[in-house]
Amino acid sequence: MKTGSLRLQLTLWLLLPLVLLLALDAWLTDRRASAAADQAFDRTLAASLKAMREGIALRDGRVEVEVPYLALEVFDAEQGSRVYYQVRDADGTTITGYDGLPMPPRPNRTLYRTHFYDAVYQNTPLRMAATPIPLHDVRSARTRMVWVLVGESTEARQHLAHDILVGSLLQELVLVTLALVIVWFAVGRGLRPLHRLSHAMAARGPDDLQPLDDTALPDDIRPLVAAVNQYVARLHRMIAGRKRFFADAAHQLKTPLAIIQAEAELALRESAPANVHAHVARLHGSVQHAAREVAQLLSLSRLENDSGYAPDLTPLQLDALARNVVLDWVPVARRDGIDIGFEGHDTEAASVTRIEGQTHLLQEMLGNLIDNAIRYAGPGAVVTVRVEGRRLIVEDNGPGVSASEREDVFKRFYRGQASASREGNGLGLSIVREIVRLHGASISLSETHGGGLTVAIVFPEN
């Protein structure tokens, strides 16, 4: 799936939160603008109410109202606003002004206290101010309370709140646009190391597997470069392993193939059946030898640490597997005059010897150990395979391996002094070591009591 530009994705991910923040701020600004407009116009209402209050008096028991021009002229500058006023008695009787103006929802009769509230009068939304005032008649010494109400239609304050909101939004849109431009160029500059890295990778030759230099790269990109270098290193080891395999195969097969070719040519020249048979027999032996070396090279190449091979381990009985492998090698041992035996648990105790392993790999491992023992111990020798719990032991009474060579014998194609005159290619123990590693086990070589070699493999707990 195409993901597009990383630069564009980063910009969009920054744009979405900015848009949400802009919407939230627009809502908050609208509330603040409405509150600011109400506060400003409420002061005008309060001033008008105060001016009207000064024109109201009580004379001879009658309320006389003189609405001063100052009380209403404060609204003249507000285009489109309409002003309503009313002076009413405490019992609700209108003394002067617009009849039916709404009173405060919860009127408080505290004198001179101004109530601000929203109301609707004749389908017109109003912002109202109301206050109760006492009137004193000096002549009659009487006191009377009246309500003074002033209302203004909300067009002007809505217009002011709208202007505040639009101005704020325009300013914020400009800032968001500038922020996105800055982010666009900042992200582009921040991605320059990735572009340089991609150009450096593209400029490399097909055989250049050197690690990438991360000294001039930001800390955030270094893990990526480290992962690439690890992958390239694994690839380099795999390629080196394949090259090593082909080189080893060419080296090891050169002699058998030359022998096969020579024996085939000699057989073609012979006319006597006995001579032809002799050449064919030697040719057959060379083919068997070459086939064995190819099989071991392929097995070693597949099992090496850099091949990426991971066996599927399942529970199995070690002693039962070892017994079956020994039975398979009995005919070979008898043919070479070797006494081979197996020592393991009895049937009832066999269930305790269970390990995690792969059957065919363990069979190949034990087969290589038995083959080495038969091949190098010589006729008349005794080879014993023993299972002790999680320990698999193969011991013989042959010439053994000197202590100085016990680490070298695991190297490929290494053949010790005792085996220099014997047939073999030095790959058996290399294969054994790789199989042991894949099972998380350990292997050790020691001298058999009375002379010979003992190979002990210890498998881990499940």
Q: pLDDT digits over 3-24, tens only?
A: 567 777 777 777 788 888 888 8
Cα 256 from Cα 360, distance rounded (Å): 28
pLDDT digits (tens, 9 = 90+) for 122-175: 888 888 889 888 888 766 667 788 888 988 888 877 787 788 888 888 888 888
Cα 143 from Cα 61, distance rounded (Å): 9
Judge if pTM exceeds 0.75.
Answer: no
Distances (CA, A) of 154 to 80, 193, 430: 9, 59, 95
Q: Give residue 77's pLDDT.
A: 47
Task: Indicate if 25 and 152 belong to the same structural domain.
Answer: yes
Cα 236 from Cα 207, distance rounded (Å): 10
Q: What is the CATH number of the domain that holds 438?
A: 3.30.565.10
Any domain includes 217? no
Distances (CA, A) of 148 to 91, 112, 132, 142: 13, 10, 6, 19
> 65 or 425, which is more confident?
65
Q: Determine which helix (DSSP H) or strand (DSSP E) holds 256, and give its type and residue range.
A: helix 222-269
Closest to 286 in 3D by CA, of 263, 320, 318, 304: 263
> 363 or 259, which is more confident?
363
Positions of E strands within 4-141: 56-59, 62-65, 83-89, 94-97, 115-121, 124-137
Residue range 183-194: mean pLDDT, rounded: 78
Percent of the chain with pLDDT over 90: 5
Any domain includes 183? no
Asked which of 252, 279, 307 is the last residue of a domain, the reply is 307
Positions of E strands within 261-400: 314-317, 339-343, 354-357, 382-388, 391-396
Task: Indicate if 281 and 394 belong to the same structural domain.
Answer: no
Task: Indicate if 127 and 232 belong to the same structural domain.
Answer: no
Task: Indicate if 27 and 66 belong to the same structural domain.
Answer: yes
Task: Indicate if 390 and 412 belong to the same structural domain.
Answer: yes
Q: Give residue 415's pLDDT.
A: 60
Task: Indicate if 132 and 265 belong to the same structural domain.
Answer: no
Any domain includes 185? no
Q: Give residue 278's pLDDT.
A: 80
Any domain includes 241? yes
Distances (CA, A) of 280 to 63, 124, 253, 283: 145, 120, 18, 5
Any domain includes 22? yes
Task: Indicate if 156 and 37 belong to the same structural domain.
Answer: yes
Closest to 364 in 3D by CA, of 439, 285, 288: 439
Cβ atoms within 10 Å, residue 324: 13
Any domain includes 41? yes
Q: Determine which helix (DSSP H) or strand (DSSP E) holds 455, and give its type and residue range.
A: strand 453-458
Q: Are 85 and 67 in contact (CB under 8 A)?
A: yes
Cα 106 from Cα 77, distance rounded (Å): 31
Boundaries of domain holding 156: 6-162
Which range (106-115, 245-254, 259-268, 390-399) has the least confidence? 245-254
Any domain includes 44? yes
pLDDT digits (tens, 9 = 90+) for 48-62: 888 887 778 877 777
Task: Indicate if 144 and 49 belong to the same structural domain.
Answer: yes
Asked which of 288, 307, 326 is the last residue of a domain, the reply is 307
Closest to 222 in 3D by CA, of 230, 13, 203, 306: 230
Q: How confident is the model at residue 252 (pLDDT cuts 50, 70, 90)?
A: low
DSSP assignment string, 407-447:
TGGGSTT---TTTTTSS--S-HHHHHHHHHHHTT-EEEEEE
Task: Indicate if 137 and 234 belong to the same structural domain.
Answer: no
Cα 140 from Cα 366, distance rounded (Å): 131
pLDDT digits (tens, 9 = 90+) for 90-101: 888 888 888 888
Q: Give residue 241's pLDDT.
A: 67
Q: Give residue 271's pLDDT.
A: 76
Which residue type sits at 131?
T
Q: Give residue 244's pLDDT.
A: 67
Cα 135 from Cα 58, distance rounded (Å): 6
Percent of the chain with pLDDT over 70: 81
Any domain includes 170? no
What residues have CB less than 8 Å from 282, skipping those under 6 apart?
259, 263
Task: Indicate if 114 and 145 belong to the same structural domain.
Answer: yes
pLDDT digits (tens, 9 = 90+) for 296-355: 666 666 666 655 666 778 888 888 899 999 998 898 888 888 899 998 865 455 455 788
Task: Indicate if 293 and 148 belong to the same structural domain.
Answer: no
Q: How many domains does the chain have?
A: 3
> 275 or 119, which is more confident?
119
Cβ atoms within 10 Å, residue 204: 12
Positions of E strands within 138-188: 142-153
Q: Are 433 and 361 in contact (CB under 8 A)?
A: no
Asked which of 162, 182, 205 is the last residue of a domain, the reply is 162
Give residue 451's region: left, alpha or beta (phi > 0; psi -120 to 50): left
Residue range 222-235: mean pLDDT, rounded: 80
Reduce the secondary structure of 1-21 to three states and give it as a string.
CCCCCHHHHHHHHHHHHHHHH
